[in-house]
Amino acid sequence: MPRIPFPLLLLLGASLAAQGSDPRVSLGLNLSFPTGGFYKSTYGPTSEVLSPQTETYDMGAGAQIGLTYPLDRHVAFRGVLAGQFHGGKNTAPGYENINLEHSMVSLGAEIHIYPESALRLRGPYFFGGVSADFERFDRSFGDVDWDYTDTTHKSRLGGTLGLGHSFPMGGSSRWYLEAAYHTSLTGKDAAAGDPPATSFLRFAVGWVF
């Protein structure tokens, strides 16, 4: 199967969206809970660190802004700009702990399926999509904002699957609840030196205007 460049997916989504109703803007707040190797990774001893190392990341917080275009009675397209932050620790017996920080900005394209009404963005819905994830990994023995910090940048493709529910607020406004799973689809080859996939469960609450 040929690979479609991510910018082309966005252009395709925007082209399809132009055929639907007027777009709706949404704002949301997120809590994310790391899973898999992003939650906890263990590394063997190295020439520099002679003890096994364990890296863990804690619950994170973030926000997102979306632009949703109803395409027909049951299908909508949403473009999303999201950002989030996680703190963590690297520990190894006999060594000082290393403070970790992870931040990520994502530009995503999603398809939403509304069994009730996509034109009104009403009721339960299922969604899935891909995103360009721009990540930053910081490592420091002190405060990453003040002390020496080793920083790594990573750009990779991510995928999201989730479900939500939109509730009326009066007029055409809505508020929504969402639960989703996100993971990295590319750039996660440990043998090539990539960090583990950035995988997490995300819970969001937001407003549609």
What residues does each domain of the chain span?
6-208
- Per residue in 172-184, pLDDT (tens digit) is 899 999 999 999 9
- pLDDT surpassing 90 at residue 78: yes
Q: How confident is the model at residue 148 (pLDDT cuts 50, 70, 90)?
A: confident
- Per residue in 95-138, pLDDT (tens digit) is 999 999 999 999 999 999 999 999 999 999 999 999 999 999 99
The pLDDT, as a whole number, for residue 175 is: 96
- pLDDT surpassing 80 at residue 187: yes
Report the largest interatomic distance among the alpha carbons of the chain, rounded to a whole angstrom. 64
Q: What burial class does residue 198 get, using C-beta atoms within 10 Å of its C-beta: 0-12 exposed, 13-18 middle, 19+ buried?
A: buried
- pLDDT surpassing 90 at residue 12: no
Question: For residues 128 and 110, is the Cβ–Cβ distance under 8 A?
Answer: yes
pLDDT over 70, % of the chain: 90
Question: For residues 101 and 86, is the Cβ–Cβ distance under 8 A?
Answer: yes
The pLDDT, as a whole number, for residue 147 is: 75
Q: How confident is the model at residue 61 (pLDDT cuts 50, 70, 90)?
A: very high
The pLDDT, as a whole number, for residue 149 is: 86
**Residue with the two structure tokens 């925007």:** 14
Query: How many Cβ atoms sit within 10 Å of the Cβ of residue 169?
Result: 12
- Per residue in 28-47, pLDDT (tens digit) is 999 999 999 999 999 999 98
The values of phi and psi at residue 117, to 5°, are -160, 110
d(CA 86, CA 201): 13
174: tokens are 């809505």
What value does the CA radius of gyration of the chain take, rounded to a whole number of Å? 19
**Residue with the two structure tokens 């399926």:** 113
Question: For residues 104 and 131, is the Cβ–Cβ distance under 8 A?
Answer: no
Average pLDDT, the chain: 90
d(CA 151, CA 109): 28
User: What pTM was estimated for this model as a whole?
Assistant: 0.88
> What b/e readout covers 60-79, taking b as 16+ CB neighbours within 10 angstroms?
bebebebebbbbeeebbbbb
The pLDDT, as a whole number, for residue 145 is: 72
d(CA 40, CA 50): 19
**Lowest-confidence region among 13-17, 147-151, 202-206:** 13-17
Q: How confident is the model at residue 21 (pLDDT cuts 50, 70, 90)?
A: low
Task: State CA 108 to chain mean position distance.
Answer: 9
Q: What is the CATH number of domain 6-208?
A: 2.40.160.20
DSSP β-ladder status, 40-43 and 60-70: unpaired
The pLDDT, as a whole number, for residue 5 is: 52
Question: For residues 32 and 201, is the Cβ–Cβ distance under 8 A?
Answer: yes
**Lowest-confidence region among 145-149, 160-164, 187-191:** 145-149
